[in-house]
Structures are given as C-alpha cells and as structure tokens.
C-alpha cells in the first residue's frame, strides 16, 4: 500500500511531459459526450440540454490523503468518485472530467499510470459514459490533484440546496459514518509508535476491516441516485462530504428551514452518522407521499425554521464536521 512501495521504471524527472501523457492517456476512459477529446488546446463537449453542471475539487497530500495509506489506484478512484458525487448531487449525469496533476519530480511514471487506472475504473463502475477529456501536468513539492467534472441535466431543473420545504421528507442514499470510522482505524492503528502513518500497519487494518477502510479509501457514492432523485421530484439535494450534521446545516440555512432527524433511522452508531465526513452519499428532501427512489431511505422531516439548523429527536445538534482549515494537524506522513 502507498506511494512508498517500489516501482519499476523512470520517474517524471526522467521523461518529457509528452512521454508521460503518452503512457497515461491510453489508460483513461473516453467520454461519450466528447466531440473533441484530449490532444488539442481544449476539449469540445456536446451539451444537448444547452446547460451543463460543472464542479471542481482538489486533493492535496497531507490534509486530504496520505501515501502511506493509499495506493495510487485507490487515490485515482477516490479522486474521481468525490467529483462525480458533486455532479450527481445536482441531479445531473456525469459526462466528463478534466484532470490536473502537480507531482514531485521523483514520482515514478508507474504511479501516474496506476492512478489513471483507478480513475478509469471509478468512471466505468460509478458513471458509465463519463471519461477524461483533458488536463495538465506540472511539478510540485507536494502531490496535488485538481479535477473539474461536468454533467448533463438532461432537460431537468438542477436540484439545489435551497429548495427544502416544511413537511418534506429528509432522506439519504449511501452508508453514513463508515468512512470516518475507517479513518479513525487508520489514525489509531495504521501508524507507528510515533504516530506517523505506516504502510504495513495500514495494510493490516485494511485486511481486518475491509468495509470500513474501503469506505474511506475507495468510496462508492450512489451516483445514479442523483438523477433518480431529480426525476422523483426532490426539492433539495447535496453531497455529504463534510459530515451529515454540517452539510445538513448548510441545506437548512440555504432553505430557511430546520432539518429534524430521528436517531432510530440513523443506524447503530448515531454519532458517526452525524459527525463522520467523506461519506459522499446524497442528502435529499422529497415532498411528503413521494416514493423514495433508488437507495434513498428516510431519516427525518423538514420543519418550519426554528432556532436551530438541525435537530435529532428534538434536541439541537452541535454542528461539527470536516474542515481542512481546522482539522488538519500537518502530519502528512
């Protein structure tokens, strides 16, 4: 596991940008929506709806991932999955990705190939037809990934955070809290005696708890449920990336309502469900009486705006979740 594993072949410092791209691009998925793909100054994408959804996300070694815990393949998968989920949260179907990488000169080219393989497999598995249409390579002391994702609304209205109404049902698609429990295991048991992330210990933890560690390193966001929610009439929706409580508070403020959860509907570990980050599930609100689509399950109701953004069993929740400006301790490992 991890960047520190041995890799055969040249590093990026030994190859030209063109040579690296020639090894990467054949491994990347093509986009069904691409009219002109990689190779020109810009890609050309079809937009039959005349509108498109666009989002971007960065992953930086240290605050966002640790090489001692992630293989390049896992990192490619997660980089794709986290962007695809933001497109799905608007009710759109992902159509294309633009990938920019800034990597240390010592990075083996095989690391970028394996990263590309993970990215490809995530697209194929989670969003068939979505592919990479371009990107950029550069050199940096810190391994940095920036991805821009595009999506097709397919003539539907985008589902915003601001549309929840009193009386709506609050529902979630995806497993809550598992990714944070996996991260807790890595921080507690995937480190050496000095608290530094350790690849062999992380591998052992992953073998003992594959579901929890997998939820953190290779998330499985319910991409297809985003468009299904839009078709079913979802009034509001968003990706759960910073923790249910924190993200729900953002939806509540945007919609000027209160989201009221029921603990019995949140699973066995209510605190992990509420506070855990990086679930990359979908939080949505639906009119009362609507049959919940796909994997959505009811977790509460929307009420008139009160003094609190989010409650659980009637009690106000202390809103807390992932914030890279307050959570990262700088120990990249």
Residues flagged as binding site for substrate: 64, 278, 322
CA distance linking residue 165 with residue 236, whole number of Å: 9
List the binding residues for Mg(2+): 41, 55-57, 86, 136, 239, 242
Question: 281 forms bridges with which residues in the sheet?
Answer: 240
CB 221, CB 175: distance < 8 Å: no
List the binding residues for ATP: 135-136, 161, 241
CA distance linking residue 99 with residue 144, whole number of Å: 11
List the binding residues: 41, 55-57, 64, 86, 135-136, 161, 239, 241-242, 278, 322
List, edge to edge, every strand of the sheet that includes 315-316. 236-240, 281-286, 169-173, 297-304, 257-261, 310-312, 315-316
Q: Which residue has the tokens 């601001």?
A: 162
Query: What would you report as the CA-atom Rg of the chain, rounded to the nearest whole angstrom?
Result: 20
How many angstroms separate the most distant Cα atoms in the chain? 62
CA distance linking residue 276 with residue 320, whole number of Å: 9
Pick from 45, 76, 296: nearest CA to 173: 296
Which residues, other chains included, contact 198 with Cβ-Cβ below 8 Å and sequence gap of 6+?
68, 190, 191, 192, 333
- CA-CA distances (angstroms) from residue 17 to 13, 103, 154? 9, 12, 37
Residue 100: how many other CB atoms lie within 10 Å: 16
Element (H, E) at 97: strand 93-103
């Amino acid at each position: 596991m991890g960047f520190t594993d041995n890799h055969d072949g040249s590093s990026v410092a030994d190859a030209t940008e063109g040579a690296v791209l020639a090894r990467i691009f054949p491994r990347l998925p093509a986009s069904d929506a691409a009219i002109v793909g990689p190779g020109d100054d810009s890609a050309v994408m079809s937009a039959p709806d005349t509108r498109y959804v666009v989002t971007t996300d960065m992953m930086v070694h240290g605050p966002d991932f640790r090489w001692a815990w992630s293989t390049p393949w896992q990192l490619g998968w997660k980089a794709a999955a986290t962007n695809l989920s933001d497109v799905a949260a608007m009710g759109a179907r992902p159509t294309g990705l633009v990938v920019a990488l800034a990597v240390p000169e010592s990075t083996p080219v095989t690391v970028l190939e394996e990263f590309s393989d993970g990215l490809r497999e995530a697209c194929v598995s989670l969003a068939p037809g979505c592919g990479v249409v371009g990107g950029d390579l550069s050199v940096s002391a810190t391994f940095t990934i920036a991805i821009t994702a595009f999506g097709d609304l397919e003539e539907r209205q985008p589902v915003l955070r601001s549309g929840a109404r009193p009386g709506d049902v609050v529902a979630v698609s995806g497993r809550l809290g598992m990714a944070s429990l996996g991260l807790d295991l890595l921080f507690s048991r995937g480190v050496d005696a000095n608290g530094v992330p350790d690849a062999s210990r992380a591998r052992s933890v992953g073998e003992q708890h594959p579901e929890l560690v997998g939820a953190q390193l290779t998330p499985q966001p319910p991409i297809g449920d985003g468009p299904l929610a839009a078709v079913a009439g979802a009034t509001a929706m968003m990706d759960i990336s910073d923790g249910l409580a924190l993200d729900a508070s953002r939806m509540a403020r945007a919609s000027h309502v209160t989201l009221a959860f029921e603990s019995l509907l949140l699973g066995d570990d209510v605190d992990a469900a509420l506070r855990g980050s990086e679930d990359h599930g979908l939080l949505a609100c639906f009119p009362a009486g609507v049959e919940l689509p796909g994997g959505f399950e009811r977790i509460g109701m929307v009420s008139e705006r009160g003094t609190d953004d989010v409650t659980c069993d009637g009690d106000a929740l202390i809103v807390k979740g992932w914030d890279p400006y307050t959570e990262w301790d700088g120990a990249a490992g």
